[in-house]
C-alpha cells in the first residue's frame, strides 16, 4: 500500500475534524503519562531515545541495542526473545540532514517497517512501530494496543471511534496487536496518515518541553506525528 494523504476518505476526515473540535490536543499532550515521562519532567526518557536513535541513524544506522532500549522503555514482555542483526536499518534511513526527511520516506513510510519486520524476531506491531516513532517522530507515531482498543477493533468496552479496522486481542496474558492479520501493516499506514492529518491541521500550539526544541528535535509549537500520537494515547488511556 502506497501511503499518501489522499488515502483518508472524506467520511474519516469529517470524523477527525469533529474529534479535533471536541478535544483539546494541548491538554491531552500535557496529560501524557508513561512511567517517568510526564510533561512536568520534560518527557526525559522519550527525549533520550529520540536523541539516541537519531544519532544512530546518522552514523551506524539503527542498531539492535537501540531496539532493546525501546523495548525496555515500553516494559515489553519477553524482551529476551528479541533477536536480529546488529544493525537493523542502514544509516540515513530517516534523516538526510537536520529536519530533512528523505523523499522516499515521506511518500512510502511503510518501507522501513517492512525491512525491520523481516529482520527482527520477537517483536509485534506495537514495538516495530515504536522503533520508527523514536527514529523519526516527524513521520511516525507508535500504534499502541490502547489506541487500537479505542480507535480500532477488539475491545467493545473501550471502543470510541471508528477510525481503524486493525484489531487488538487479549487471550488472558494482556492486550496485543496480532501481526498475522490481513489489515497489518496497511492499517498502520492509515494511522500514519491520521497523525499527519492532525499534525498539519492543528494550530501551532504543541507545548513541547524545552529540551526537544533546544536539541533541534522540534520547532516550537509545531506538531509532529509523534506528538499527535502522544495526545491520542493520553485520550485512549482514559478508557483502557
The confidence score (pLDDT) of residue 2 equals 37
Measured at the CA of 53, the angle between CA 124 and CA 68, to 5 degrees, comes to 45
Helix (H/G/I), strand (E/B), else coil: 75: coil
Work out the average pLDDT over 182-190: 96
- Asked if residues 186 and 1 have their Cβ atoms less than 8 Å apart, the reply is yes
Instruction: Answer yes or no: is pLDDT of 138 > 90.
Output: yes
Residue 6 to residue 139: CA distance in whole angstroms: 16
DSSP 156: T
Q: How far apart are CA 226 and CA 232, in angstroms?
A: 10
Residue 150 has pLDDT above 70, yes or no: yes
Residue spans of alpha helices (H) in the chain: 10-22, 25-31, 44-58, 64-73, 103-107, 110-119, 125-135, 145-151, 186-201, 210-214, 225-237
3-class secondary structure, 31: helix
> Could you report the per-residue pLDDT of 189-234, keeping only the tens digit for each?
999 999 999 999 999 999 999 999 999 999 999 999 999 999 999 9
Confidence (pLDDT) at 98: 65
Give the residue-averaged pLDDT of 104-128: 94
d(CA 58, CA 183) in angstroms, rounded, equals 32
Question: What pLDDT score does 99 carry?
Answer: 65
pLDDT for 157 beyond 70: yes
Burial bucket for residue 35 (CB in 10 Å: 0-12, 13-18, 19+): exposed
Asked whether residue 121 is domain-assigned, the answer is yes
Residue 182 CB contacts under 8 Å (≥ 6 apart), including other chains:
none
Cβ distance 20 to 202 under 8 Å? yes
Contacts of 86 (CB under 8 A, 6+ apart): 63, 64, 65
Q: For residue range 60-96, what is the model confidence (pLDDT) as tens digits?
A: 999 999 999 999 999 999 999 999 999 999 999 999 8
Percent of the chain residues topping a pLDDT of 90: 90
Q: Which helix (H) or strand (E) is 175 found in, with range? A: strand 175-176
Distance, in Å, from the CA atom of 143 to the CA atom of 178, rounded to the nearest integer, reads 12
Closest among 67, 94, 96 to 82, alpha carbons compared: 67
Kindly report the number of other CB atoms within 10 A of residue 46's CB atom: 23
Q: Which domain holds residue 219?
A: 6-237
Total domains, the chain:
1
Beta bridge partners of 124: none
Q: Tell me if 1 is assigned to some domain.
A: no
Amino acid at each position: 500500500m502506497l501511503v499518501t494523504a489522499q488515502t483518508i476518505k472524506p467520511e474519516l476526515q469529517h470524523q477527525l475534524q469533529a474529534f479535533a473540535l471536541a478535544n483539546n490536543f494541548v491538554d491531552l499532550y500535557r496529560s501524557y503519562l508513561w512511567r517517568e515521562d510526564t510533561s512536568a519532567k520534560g518527557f526525559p526518557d522519550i527525549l533520550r531515545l529520540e536523541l539516541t536513535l537519531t544519532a544512530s541513524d546518522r552514523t551506524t544506522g539503527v542498531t539492535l541495542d537501540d531496539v532493546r532500549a525501546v523495548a525496555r522503555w515500553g516494559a515489553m514482555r519477553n524482551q529476551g526473545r528479541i533477536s536480529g542483526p546488529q544493525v537493523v536499518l542502514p544509516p540515513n534511513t530517516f534523516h538526510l540532514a537536520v529536519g530533512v526527511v528523505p523523499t522516499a520516506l515521506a511518500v512510502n513510510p511503510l518501507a522501513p517497517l517492512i525491512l525491520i519486520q523481516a529482520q527482527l524476531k520477537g517483536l509485534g506491531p506495537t514495538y516495530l512501530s515504536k522503533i520508527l516513532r523514536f527514529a523519526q517522530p516527524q513521520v511516525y507515531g507508535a500504534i499502541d494496543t490502547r489506541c487500537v482498543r479505542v480507535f480500532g477493533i477488539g475491545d467493545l468496552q473501550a471502543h470510541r471511534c471508528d477510525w481503524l479496522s486493525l484489531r487488538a486481542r487479549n487471550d488472558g496474558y494482556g492486550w496485543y496487536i496480532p501481526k498475522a492479520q490481513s489489515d497489518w501493516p496497511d492499517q498502520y499506514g492509515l494511522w500514519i496518515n491520521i497523525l499527519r492529518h492532525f499534525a498539519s491541521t492543528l494550530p501551532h500550539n504543541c507545548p513541547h518541553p524545552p529540551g526537544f526544541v533546544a536539541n533541534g528535535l522540534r520547532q516550537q509549537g509545531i506538531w509532529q506525528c509523534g506528538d499527535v500520537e502522544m495526545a491520542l494515547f493520553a485520550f485512549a488511556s482514559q478508557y483502557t
